[in-house]
Amino acid sequence: MAGVNKVILVGNLGKDPEVRYLDNNKVVANLTLATTENYKDRNGNKVENTEWHDLELWDGLAKIAEQYLTKGKSIYVEGKIKTDSWKDDQGNNKYRTRIRVQNMTMLGSGGSGNSGIAPEQLNPIEKPATPNPPVSPGVETESDDLPF
């Protein structure tokens, strides 16, 4: 069975892109992206949880990142998870996980961290509207508290 390796992130850049030009006209940009989740814990206290993601953009996307992206800019990215593993000088296993970006959209005016677009508005997977079931005249329908 085939698998799916797809990541969608919306967040703010933690620093300016680091861009390197390699042999054979290849360009790579490395970015850090912060995604922040706000929720209330069991005691009703507001909790803010920030995750940092290492992004890798190649060629055309890397050139766009170099030209237009700066620290604080809000972006939407789609990509896949890539993990490198190696042994350090002491023989310990080391790992690095990054997101190889395949699609990027710049959001808002940047710098403020507020793009004016709620993440749920960016969801590329549209949920179809649930139609009301047909009701015959004279037949009462029951309402329950089930979430589906």
Tell me whether residue 30 is in a domain.
yes
User: How far is 98 from 83, CA to CA, in rounded Å?
Assistant: 6
Query: CA quadruple 94, 53, 99, 23: dihedral positive or negative?
Result: negative
Element (H, E) at 85: strand 74-87
Q: CB pairs under 8 A, 24+ apart, for 78-82?
A: 78/6, 78/7, 78/8, 78/102, 78/103, 78/104, 79/6, 79/7, 79/55, 79/103, 80/5, 80/6, 80/7, 81/5, 81/7, 82/56
Answer whether 0.75 is exceeded by the pTM. no
pLDDT at 1: 83
Q: What is the pLDDT of residue 144?
A: 55
Domain range for 37: 7-112
Give pLDDT tens digits along the chain (148 positions).
Answer: 899 999 999 999 999 999 999 998 899 999 999 999 999 999 999 999 999 999 999 999 999 999 999 999 999 999 999 999 999 999 999 999 999 999 999 998 644 444 343 444 444 433 344 444 444 445 454 555 655 4
Domain count, the chain: 1
Q: Is residue 140 domain-resident?
A: no
Q: Which two tokens stand for residue 81?
A: 């998870």
Q: Is residue 126 part of a domain?
A: no
Does the residue 1 lie in any domain? no
CATH code, domain with 60: 2.40.50.140
What does the pLDDT read at residue 53?
Answer: 96
In a domain, 11, yes or no: yes
Among the listed residues 67, 58, 63, 57, the one whose alpha carbon sits nearest the alpha carbon of residue 31:
57
Whole-angstrom Cα distance, residue 103 to residue 76? 8
